[in-house]
């Protein structure tokens, strides 16, 4: 049995779909369904059981032997992923303590443990984007979300749990099943909606003289590649911290142009003021260093370009009758 926490969420549900494609249905989905429509991510999926997060935590504590005998490993995607969440206590409980409990359980019972860290742990990027233990201790995230993820990385390193686990630093993931995420949806999904309704795309102006409007750079990775890397880490028992990205930063202008092209429309971009409260926390460049995943551990699957990923997303999901992965 494979446990996927956050299995009703964006990346988690796509992981379950990929396991289903392998013929694997002995899956326990753990999540905390709320008033959003993320339950729709489950409709196309095949799994053995759904458990509420709190019930699962109690279960592996009370019936450790039963769970130990039935669980092969945990793919831990369950967390609050909002970079604007200001409730520090909630983030510490949901992203830090919850992960600690599962990480300790897997280490104690010799179970696979792959968990979601985040590129937000890199802060402003001045120290680079190398998935290395030494750099990890020097990082200073710019928001509480990134800090909660960073603290767990440091805890895993300090306690030795990381020697039995893989922490995945996801960069800017986009793709189907993100529809419930509200303002945390990818810019690709937001762009599609704006272009469809208004015929134009609004992007933030740059507030750095050396970077033109639309020239802000991100490492955008398609969900299918993010899932492939996650399962590669799980299948091969990788341990340590790993970036999950393309290794190629692309501009928001490039992203917008790719969406317009996939929709068969002419480029029409308007640059708008960035809210003042995020200007001092805004990242102008992110790019995953993929040396460890690709060169050291020989991940050799083709990674979709921004244009390829956007085209698949728009043509096979956003404009399809069934927009959900299966």
* Catalytic residue list: 145, 181
Contact of 23 with 46, CB cutoff 8 Å:
no
Q: How, if at all, do strands 217-218 and 250-251 pair?
A: antiparallel
CA distances from 16 to 70, 209, 231, 283 (A): 18, 44, 10, 31
Half-sphere exposure (Cβ direction) of 218: Cα atoms closer than 13 Å: 22
Contact of 214 with 188, CB cutoff 8 Å:
no
Q: Is 246 left (phi over 0), alpha (psi -120 to 50) or beta?
A: alpha
Candidates 43, 44, 42; CA nearest to 4 is: 42
Phi, psi (rounded to 5 degrees) for 222: -70, 145
Contact of 170 with 117, CB cutoff 8 Å:
yes
Q: Locate tokens 């019972």: which residue?
A: 109
């Amino acid at each position: 049995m494979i446990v996927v926490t956050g299995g009703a969420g964006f990346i988690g549900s796509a992981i379950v779909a990929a396991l289903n494609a392998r013929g694997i249905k002995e899956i326990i989905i753990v999540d905390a369904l709320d008033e959003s429509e993320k339950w729709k991510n489950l409709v196309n999926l095949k799994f053995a059981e759904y458990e509420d997060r709190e019930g699962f935590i109690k279960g592996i504590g009370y019936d450790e032997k039963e769970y130990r005998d039935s669980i092969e490993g945990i793919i831990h995607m369950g967390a609050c992923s909002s970079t604007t969440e200001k409730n520090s206590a909630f983030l510490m409980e949901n992203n830090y303590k919850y992960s600690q409990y599962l990480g300790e359980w897997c280490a104690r019972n010799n179970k696979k443990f792959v968990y979601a860290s985040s590129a937000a742990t890199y802060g402003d990027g001045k120290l680079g984007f190398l998935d290395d233990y030494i750099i990890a201790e020097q990082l200073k995230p710019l928001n509480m979300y990134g800090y909660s993820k960073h603290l767990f990385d440091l805890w895993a390193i300090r306690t030795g749990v990381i020697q039995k686990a893989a922490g995945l630093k996801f960069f800017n993931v986009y793709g189907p099943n993100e529809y419930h995420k509200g303002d945390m949806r990818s810019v690709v999904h937001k762009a599609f909606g704006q272009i469809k309704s208004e015929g134009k795309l609004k992007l933030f102006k740059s507030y750095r003289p050396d970077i033109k409007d639309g020239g802000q750079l991100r490492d955008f990775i398609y969900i299918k590649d993010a899932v492939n890397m996650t399962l590669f880490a799980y299948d091969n028992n990788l341990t340590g911290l790993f970036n999950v990205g393309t290794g190629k930063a692309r501009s928001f202008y490039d992203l917008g142009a790719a969406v317009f092209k996939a929709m068969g429309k002419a480029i029409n971009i308007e640059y708008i003021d960035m809210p003042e409260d995020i200007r001092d926390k805004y990242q102008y460049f992110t790019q995953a260093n993929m040396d460890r995943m690709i060169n050291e551990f020989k991940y050799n699957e083709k990674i979709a370009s921004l244009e390829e990923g956007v085209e698949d997303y728009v043509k096979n999901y956003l404009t399809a009758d069934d927009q959900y992965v299966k």
